[in-house]
Amino acid sequence: MKSAVIYARYSSERQSEQSIEGQLRVCNDFAARNGLRIVGTYIDRAMTGTNDHRAEFQRMLSDSDTPQEWEIVLVYALDRFGRNSIEIAINKQRLQKNGKILISATQRTSQNIDGSQNLDGIILENVMIGIAEYYSAELSQKIRRGQNESREKGNFVGGGIAYGYKVVNKKVVVNDDEAEAVRTIFHQYASGRVAREIIETLHEQGLSHRGKQFLPNAIYQILRNTRYIGFYTHNGKKYTNTFPSIIATELFNTVQAMLAKNKLGSHSRDTQFLLKGKLYCGICGKKMNGESGTSFTGKANYYYKCATKKKKSSACPKETVRKEEIEKLVVQTTIDTLRSPETAEKIADAVVSIHQRRWQDKSILHLLKEDRDKKQKALKNLLSAVEEGLLTPTTKNRMTELEEEIDILNGKILAEESKEANLITKEQVIAFLTDLPEREPQIIIDTLIRKVVLFDDRIEIHYNFIEKPEPDEPDGTSPEDRRVIPFSFQSSLQSRVPPP
């Protein structure tokens, strides 16, 4: 017989709150029906006007850190475990880490009494597809490896070129007009001007930010960009042979010291928002974007904020959510879902078969080759135009573009071809599930999660779907090409709550 403790909480501020006695009765009934032995209770009674310290709740959590005769915490409803879904999930995770199980007497929970996972088949299916997708992502890693070789050679590997530079035949050279603006920005800032004043000066001098007026953010980004003293870092590696210097190192260092003192400029540069582009407001449907702010103590705070609310605070009631909390929650939930041995087995089998099916399908390779051949032909035509002396700046740009595009296509073709030699094994998938998520949470989010919708009372994590990709904005979709997989601690559970 398994042993359990009951945690009950009563808050007089809530209407239609179940009394402590009522909660205990329901929990005891549940225990009797399910063969649980109740070995203790923790009870918090919060009265109106007092702080809700939940002392007993805290005691229960810290008890769970040490060996106990019980392994189950039984509650009337999951909301006893926190004031919002994030808090609930974090507290639940702490229990799980301690080998304890949270069970609600009135709702379905993600773990069963015997500790096994409670997974809907559809979720599982989608996770499988998501992992298969991961291995496609691995192909693009191979392409990145190719890019690293280009980096070593000091070539520009694509993407947006930093302000102050331009690309000529894959090499980065100084863009004179822009470089002048960069120098102005550094000198002015070093002499004590603030971003707004610098922007005015640039405007007077007729210097623009690629056709647009400078914004303060752009100024700060420029002030911090090490390319202006001749290097950049990628994946922890420093590349010094790509960008020519525009600013003297001494001036750059002076500016960095000043920036460190300047609150406005001192945060958010290297912060990676894991859920970037994937987090949506459940109330108005718009994206929630990463933001940072500085507290009175000078410490940086990171959070996600609804885009509607950002424009106009009263336009959406969605509260901002702390970056760390939501990211940890999303990643941990996904990891927990993936990790039970039987789940991992099932996923591995499915992934291997999906992978084999895709491997047999050569259509992608054909398409890539076709595309490359077309571009090579176009490039050849331009080359003969050049030989005939018909060179204009436009042809030149187009040629550079084509060369870069062909490079990228060659990488993809290589990756696609090497797929044959790299059929994945079941063991690899299992290793992926056990090993990678904590080290590389971004990979988990990129490959498995299509979007996360944050409601006030629940979070929905939508897993990736290969067959029917969805447009970016949730508004633009018709219901039939959406298969929503609610995977929230509460949403999948709440609907099953019997009326009180």
CB atoms within 10 A of CB 259: 17
Nearer to Zn ion, 223 or 281 (CB): 281
**Shortest Cβ distance from residue 302 to Zn ion (Å)?**
19
Q: Do strands 101-104 and 72-75 pair parallel, antiparallel, or not at all (unpaired)?
A: parallel
Nearer to Zn ion, 316 or 354 (CB): 316
**Shortest Cβ distance from residue 451 to Zn ion (Å)?**
14
Number of residues near Zn ion (by CB under 5 A): 7
Q: Do strands 279-281 and 449-454 pair parallel, antiparallel, or not at all (unpaired)?
A: parallel
**Shortest Cβ distance from residue 491 to Zn ion (Å)?**
18
First to last CA, the chain: 28
**Shortest Cβ distance from residue 291 to Zn ion (Å)?**
14
**Shortest Cβ distance from residue 314 to Zn ion (Å)?**
11
Nearer to Zn ion, 312 or 439 (CB): 312
| Residue 284 touches Zn ion, criterion: CB under 5 A | yes
Give the footprint of Zn ion on residues 362-381 (CB under 5 A): none
Nearer to Zn ion, 318 or 323 (CB): 318
Nearer to Zn ion, 283 or 408 (CB): 283
Nearer to Zn ion, 31 or 86 (CB): 86
Strand partners, 3: 37
**Hey, what amino acid is at 205?**
Q
Q: Do strands 300-306 and 321-322 pair parallel, antiparallel, or not at all (unpaired)?
A: antiparallel
Phi-psi region for residue 314, left (φ > 0), alpha (ψ -120 to 50) or beta?
A: alpha
**Shortest Cβ distance from residue 272 to Zn ion (Å)?**
23
Helix/strand/coil percentages in the chain, nearest 5: 50, 15, 35
| Three-state secondary structure call for residue 478 | coil
**Shortest Cβ distance from residue 323 to Zn ion (Å)?**
17
Tell me the C-alpha distance between 343 and 433, whole Å. Answer: 10
**Shortest Cβ distance from residue 281 to Zn ion (Å)?**
3
| Three-state secondary structure call for residue 451 | strand
**Nearest to residue 466, comparing CAs of 126, 142, 138?**
126
**Nearest to residue 353, comparing CAs of 132, 125, 122?**
132
DSSP 8-state symbol, 264: G
Nearer to Zn ion, 143 or 281 (CB): 281
Tell me the C-alpha distance between 467 and 192, whole Å. Answer: 56
Biggest CA pair distance of the chain:
93
Nearer to Zn ion, 100 or 323 (CB): 323
**Shortest Cβ distance from residue 283 to Zn ion (Å)?**
5
**Shortest Cβ distance from residue 126 to Zn ion (Å)?**
26
Tell me the C-alpha distance between 48 and 67, whole Å. Answer: 35
Strand partners, 290: 304
Which tokens in the block code for residue 181? 């603006």
Per-residue binding string, Zn ion, 244-283, x by CB under 5 A, is: -------------------------------------x-x
User: With contact defined as beta carbons under 8 Å apart, do 466 and 351 qualify?
Assistant: no
Nearer to Zn ion, 277 or 500 (CB): 277
**Shortest Cβ distance from residue 208 to Zn ion (Å)?**
33
Nearer to Zn ion, 92 or 462 (CB): 462
**Shortest Cβ distance from residue 305 to Zn ion (Å)?**
9
DSSP 8-state symbol, 164: T
Nearer to Zn ion, 359 or 455 (CB): 455
**Hey, what amino acid is at 138?**
E
**Shortest Cβ distance from residue 307 to Zn ion (Å)?**
7
User: With contact defined as beta carbons under 8 Å apart, do 62 and 28 qualify?
Assistant: no
Tell me the C-alpha distance between 446 and 131, whole Å. Answer: 11
| Three-state secondary structure call for residue 6 | strand
Which tokens in the block code for residue 458? 């629940």
∠ CA 377-381-383 to the nearest 5 degrees? 115
Nearer to Zn ion, 259 or 307 (CB): 307
Give the footprint of Zn ion on residues 32-91 (CB under 5 A): none
Give the footprint of Zn ion on residues 298-337 (CB under 5 A): 306, 308, 316, 318
Nearer to Zn ion, 147 or 308 (CB): 308
The string of DSSP letters for 269-320 reads SS---TTTTTEEETTT--BEEEEEEE-TTS-EEEEEEEHHHHH-GGG--PPP
Residues that bind Zn ion (CB under 5 A): 281, 283-284, 306, 308, 316, 318
